[in-house]
Amino acid sequence: MIPFSPPRIDQKIIDEVIDTLKSGWITTGPKTKLFEKRLSAFNGAPATLCLNSATAGLELMLRWFGVGEGDEVILPAYTYSATANVVMHCGAKPVFVDVRDDFNIDPLKIRAAITARTKVVMPVDFGGYPCDYDAIKAIVEEPENRSRFQARTEEQKMLGRILILSDAAHSLGAMYRGKRTGTLADFSVFSFHAVKNLTTAEGGAVSLNLPAPFDNMELYKKLCVRTLHGQDKDALAKTQKGNWRYDIVEAGYKMNMTDVLASIGLVELDRYADDTLVKRKWICDRYSEAFKGKSWALLPVMESETARSCHHLYPLRIQGVNETQRDAILQRIFNRDVSVNVHFIPIPMMSFYKSQGYAIADFPNTYRLYASEISLPVFYDLTEEQIKQVTTAVIQSVEEVMSS
């Protein structure tokens, strides 16, 4: 059975983790701090904070900005539940909008959804392909939208507009107008979950990129305190002789990354641009070559004049099928010993969100894309022979279902 997305665990990873374990320092320490610095250098961002998940990063930044009851956050209906759940955790209202054919949020729908209660726009870089950040920035900067923005907190007053909080869980290393994700929004939040391009087993990071007069490094320091129970010294600082006394300066959270996780990330990042991304592009190019002559195959957008994907997913769409037919195709592919997936079941189709009054009928393009989408295996160790097995299984399965 060809798996969908196993992690790359080789001897380099094992050796680095063993080194961490032998060091006696396994919680947040020198390797986490080094990983943060190297991520900042990779993305070209002023500062980066590593955490135990991307979900924690999204909620942390919403709460930092003062998002709460009565506020609204605009996000695509086509995303994973984490993007919406964090809004609910803050007591705010998720305002879903439809997506374009590249699976990313439609800027025109953002403009139509903005109200006086809007505090944040959360674009999602689906599959590793960046959103249209220029269009999103232009919308939140429009004089009408700036004037209707109702600031309550000091942070909101300093920014003076809707915050752009990018869910960049899929898009580390992707490019938009010559810049890497991490510098395209006020904050960009990455995921290092086991199935991501770069994994730390579990984990995430927030790339801080606020405009002046904000001081991103000063904010980084404050967030370090907030993500460790509001404690003014971390474990590394407390190792200094006689430096045991600490204070709790706020009711913080437990969100920190550990050095065990960061050690995996350091190896992964060192070979990311010149090895991992090259291999993932090669895999996706092989898929596109195999399907380009098929009239039913709608190939995913991987590159344009403005953007380049980091090839996290290969979301193939089957033209002319309904959801039931797509599901039948999936099962036939599985029966041929190939693991595939669907990204994602849209949030308005989930029981909890339906109970909140959301309906997928309000997002027709989201449903149309979902009903015809199949995500194919993309992982570092995928071979040419396995790619051939995948493409053969897909072609045979689609043509069997469409001819029946």
Q: Give 78-108 pLDDT, tens digit per residue.
A: 999 999 999 999 999 999 999 999 999 999 9
The distance of Cα 384 from the centroid of its chain, to the nearest Å, equals 28
The domain at 11-270 falls in which architecture? Answer: 3-Layer(aba) Sandwich (3.40)
Retrieve residue 112's tokens.
């139509």
Ramachandran bin of 378, using left for φ above 0, alpha for ψ from -120 to 50, beta for the remaining angles: beta
Residue 118 scores a pLDDT above 80: yes
Domain locations in the chain as residue ranges? 11-270, 273-403
Summarised one tens digit per residue, pLDDT across range 283-331 is: 999 999 999 999 999 999 999 999 999 999 999 999 999 999 999 999 9
Least confident of 51-55, 181-185, 232-236, 242-246: 232-236
Render pLDDT for 166-197 as a digit per residue (tens, 0 to 9).
Answer: 999 999 999 999 999 999 999 999 999 999 99
Strands 204-208 and 307-308: unpaired
Residue 237: band (very low, low, confident or very high) from pLDDT cuts 50, 70, 90? confident
Whether pLDDT at 251 is above 90:
yes
Candidates 207, 224, 201; CA nearest to 16 is: 201
Alpha-carbon distance of 337 to 388, in angstroms, equals 13
Confidence label for 242 from pLDDT (cuts 50, 70 and 90): confident
pLDDT band (50, 70, 90) for residue 240: confident
Q: Rounded CA gap, 374 and 392, in Å?
A: 14
pLDDT of 239 over the 90 cut = no
Same fold, 11-270 and 273-403: no
Model-level pTM greater than 0.85?
Answer: yes
Q: Which amino acid is at 90?
A: C
Strand, coil or helix: 104: coil
CA angle 154–155–159, rounded 5-degree value: 115
Identify the residue whose tokens are 């065990």: 260
191, 187, 195: which is closest to 159 by C-alpha?
187
Q: What is the pLDDT of residues 25-42, one digit of tens each?
A: 999 999 999 999 999 999
Average pLDDT over residues 248-253: 95
pLDDT of 390 over the 90 cut:
yes
Q: At residue 48, what are phi and psi to the nearest 5 degrees?
A: -140, 135
**Mean pLDDT of all residues belonging to the chain:** 97
Q: How far apart are CA 234 and CA 226, in angstroms?
A: 11
Residue at 198: amino acid letter: L
- pLDDT for position 246: 87
Q: What separation in angstroms does the CA of 193 have from each of 26, 98, 200, 331?
A: 19, 26, 7, 26
Structure-block tokens of residue 324: 């039931």
Q: Which amino acid is at 264?
A: I
CB burial of 162-199 (b: ≥16 within 10 Å; e: otherwise) equals: bbbbbbbbbbbbbbbeeebbbebbbbbbbbbbeebbbb
CATH node for 273-403: 3.90.1150.10
Q: How far is the C-alpha of 252 from the C-alpha of 255, rounded, in Å?
A: 9
Q: Is the dihedral of CA 218, 221, 227, 228 positive or negative?
A: negative
With a cut of 80, say whether residue 56 has pLDDT above it.
Answer: yes
Q: Which two tokens stand for residue 220?
A: 């980084």
- Categorize the per-residue pLDDT at 47 as very low, low, confident or very high, splitting at 50, 70 and 90: very high
